[in-house]
Each structure stands twice: as structure tokens, then as C-alpha cells.
Amino acid sequence: MSLHVVVGAGPVGSATALLLAERGDDVRLLTRSGSGPEHPRIARIKVDATDAAALTAQCAGATAIHHCAGLEYARWATGFPPLIHAAISAAEASGALLLTVGNLYGYGEFDGPVDESHPLRPNSAKGRVRADLWNEALTAHREGRIRTAEVRGSDYLGAGANSTFTAVVLPAVTAGKTALFPGDPDAPHSWTAIEDVARTLLAVADDESSWGRAWHVPTATPLPVRALADLTATLTGASPARVRGMPSAVLWAAGLFNGDAREIRELRYQFDRPFVVDSTAATKQFGIEPMPTRAALQATLEARKPTRN
């Protein structure tokens, strides 16, 4: 039994905290509001994670810091640097391992399945933010100031998943309406299960030989958006899915009035061509087999059902 700190109670943070608690570890779950799942081993604590001194105090005696905090796209440039800088300071002061949850944005455009050896060549503002922060943490690791690793996934499926698919396509399909997708709905695309992100974080935390590098979360065989929409219709009993590509001009015009649409513009390259993650290294290292996409989508849908009082 050991103590783990989890920063952020979003879908990944909550799943990670529960997995740790269920295997017998004590967890300090840190958020601004003190929210998160209830469990006897989870202490939900109100903390400003950008405050290095406050974060360091909470990390005293911890084995690892699982940094799972998420931000709205519009806040990435200003919000993530103080969060990660405070986490690096806390890891250095406490001696806890720092594990960050990243994504594939830092690679920029790539051809074929991308693995962890691909250089970071971001072509978006959000990609540059994540690449720069990972490089800072990795430099601190190589200098011996901290110990760190990063876990990266593609677009999420699972309880609480928030992606272009879950925001745009899934609601339209379940309502029997035509979905306008900002990209090619027939391009192969990887979908990472939230549960698998949490499982990979725990595996990396337990394996000292895996530190000092990035790992891709074991991810199922890619599935085009149209096929995922068809599966959504099947699982929900909705009418057959109708998905059309959204013209660039429409997305650009939508961005004049909608902040989310504006932020998606620079990421459209991820949906106009195959976007496939190679996660064989993590599967081989940790023995984690990815959750089937059908099961991950089912978890997504179950979590979106209205609760009854």
C-alpha cells in the first residue's frame, strides 16, 4: 500500500483514483472544488494545483503524482504552463514520480501509425504547449532533478469522454439527426478508452524501467467516424446514422460565433486523414490489452444516460 496524488477529477483523474483505491492504495485527489468519486481510500482535497507550495505540501510522502488535469481548449496556452511548472516543482521537492497525461498533438501531422519514437513537430498552438511542457519535464528528469514519464492517448471513449465525436456526432446520431463532422468521416481514426489510460498510468508508476519516456496507451484497432456512428446507432436503437463531412468554410464561419469551433480549426488535420496510434510498445511492456471499442463506446453511452432520482 502506498500514497498516490491525483491532480484533477475529470474522467481520467476519477478513473485513476478509483483504480488506485480499489487495489488498496491511499489517494489524495486534488481539485479546486474538492470534487471526485467517493471511496474510503480517496481523500478529496481542495487545492489550487498552480500553487507550487500548496501542491508540494499535498505530495509529501507520495509515491507518484498522476497529473490528469484537463482544460478547455481556449485555456491551454495560459492554463497548462503554471499547472505543469507547479507539478515539476512539487515532484522535485517531494521526490514523488511525476506522471503526466498527454496526447498526440505534439507530433503534428504524421503519415502512417505513429509511435513514441516520432519526433515532436507540432503544427498547432495547442500541440506546441504540450510538447514544450513535456520537454521541460523530460529535461528535469535527465538532469536528475525529478523522475517522470508521460502517457499519451488519442481521442477518448468511456465515461465522461469529451471529444469532437462525443460533442458533435454522438448527440446527433442518438437524436436521429444528420451529424456534420469537421473532417473525413471515412478516415481511419484511433479511439483510446479512458479506463486504459488509468491502467497505463498505474503500470508506469509501478515499473521504474519505464520512466524517462512517453508511452502510448494501448489502443484498439482504428475505426472511422462513420463506423463509430453506425455502432452508436446500433447500441442505442436509433435510426441508421447519417454523417456528412463539414465543409471548411462552414467550420470557419462557425468559429466566428462559437469558441469550441474556433479552437477545432487548427486541429482539423487530425480528422481529414488517417490518425492512427501505434501502442504496441506499451502492450508489450505492461501486458495491457486495449478495451474493445464497442465496450468503450457502451461505457460512453451509459454515462450519458440521465440519472433517476
Q: Sorting pLDDT into bands at 50, 70 and 90, what band is 245?
A: confident
Whole-number Å distance between alpha carbons of 64 and 13:
13
Q: What is the pLDDT of residue 73?
A: 84
pLDDT average, residue stretch 57-66? 97
Q: What is the pLDDT of residue 255?
A: 46
DSSP string, 225-259: HHHHHHHHHHHHTPSPPEEEEPPHHHHHHHTTT-H
Q: What is the pLDDT of residue 305?
A: 83
pLDDT average, residue stretch 103-127? 94
Q: What is the pLDDT of residue 252?
A: 43
Sign of CA dihedral 17, 62, 202, 41: negative
pLDDT average, residue stretch 53-69? 97
Sign of CA dihedral 206, 207, 210, 211: positive
Would you tell me how many other CB atoms lie within 10 Å of the CB of residue 292? 12
Whole-number Å distance between alpha carbons of 155 and 163:
6
Q: What is the pLDDT of residue 74?
A: 85
- Would you say residue 114 has pLDDT above 60? yes
Portion of the chain with pLDDT greater than 90, in percent: 85
Q: Sorting pLDDT into bands at 50, 70 and 90, what band is 308?
A: low
pLDDT average, residue stretch 218-228? 98
In the block, cell 519526433 appears at 119
Reference 297, options 240, 243, 225; nearest CA is 225
Q: What is the pLDDT of residue 256?
A: 39
Please report, for residues 69, 145, 163, the alpha-carbon distance to residue 72 in angstroms, rounded to integers and kept in the order given: 11, 30, 11
- pLDDT tens sequence across 279-294: 999 999 999 999 999 9
Using a CB cutoff of 8 Å and minimum separation of 24, what contacts does 228-231 make?
A: 228/165, 228/169, 228/189, 228/191, 228/293, 228/297, 229/169, 229/170, 229/173, 229/179, 229/185, 231/293, 231/294, 231/297
pLDDT average, residue stretch 260-275? 76
Amino acid type, 138: L
- Would you say residue 180 has pLDDT above 70? yes
- As a residue count, the chain comes to 309
- Mean residue pLDDT of the chain comes to 93
- pLDDT tens sequence across 131-153: 999 999 999 999 999 999 999 99
Q: What is the pLDDT of residue 263?
A: 62
Q: What is the pLDDT of residue 243?
A: 96
Reference 48, options 65, 29, 31, 71; nearest CA is 31
Q: What is the pLDDT of residue 217?
A: 98
Q: What is the pLDDT of residue 285?
A: 98
Residue 209: partners with Cβ closer than 8 Å, 6 or more residues away:
none
pLDDT average, residue stretch 272-281? 96
pTM of the model: 0.94
pLDDT average, residue stretch 208-218? 98
Q: What is the pLDDT of residue 257?
A: 45
Using a CB cutoff of 8 Å and minimum separation of 24, what contacts does 138-145 make?
A: 138/212, 140/88, 140/91, 140/92, 141/211, 141/212, 142/212, 145/92
Q: What is the pLDDT of residue 137?
A: 98
Whole-number Å distance between alpha carbons of 98 and 188:
33
**Helix (H) or strand (E) segment spanning residue 127:** helix 125-142
Ranges 91-95, 125-129, 204-208, 264-268: which has the least confidence: 264-268
